[in-house]
Homo-oligomer: A and B are copies of this chain.
Amino acid sequence: MTDQLDKAFAALSDATRRDLIARLAIGDATVGELAAPYDMTVQAISKHLKVLTDAGLVTKRAEAQRRLVHLEADALRALTQWVEHYAQLAERRYSRLERVLAGMTDQLTDQPTDGPASATRKDAP
Chain A residues at the B interface, C-beta cutoff of 8 Å:
2, 5-7, 9-10, 12-15, 18, 21-30, 33, 36-37, 63, 68, 71, 73, 76-77, 79-80, 82-84, 86-87, 89-91, 93-94, 114, 117-118, 120-125
Contact = CB atoms under 8 A, between A and B. Distances in A.
B121 A29 contact: yes
Given A14-B6, A83-B12, A87-B76, A93 B25 contact: yes
Contacts of A5: 12, 15, 18
Nearest to A24: B90
A12 B77 CA distance: 15
A125 B23 contact: yes
A7 to B, nearest CB: 8
26 contacts: A5-B15, A6-B13, A6-B14, A7-B13, A9-B10, A9-B13, A18-B82, A23-B125, A25-B86, A26-B89, A28-B117, A28-B120, A29-B121, A36-B123, A37-B124, A37-B125, A68-B117, A71-B90, A73-B87, A73-B91, A76-B87, A76-B90, A77-B87, A80-B80, A80-B87, A83-B83
Instruction: List the 6 closest A-B pairs by CB distance, nearest first.
Output: A27-B120, A10-B13, A9-B13, A76-B87, A25-B89, A25-B86
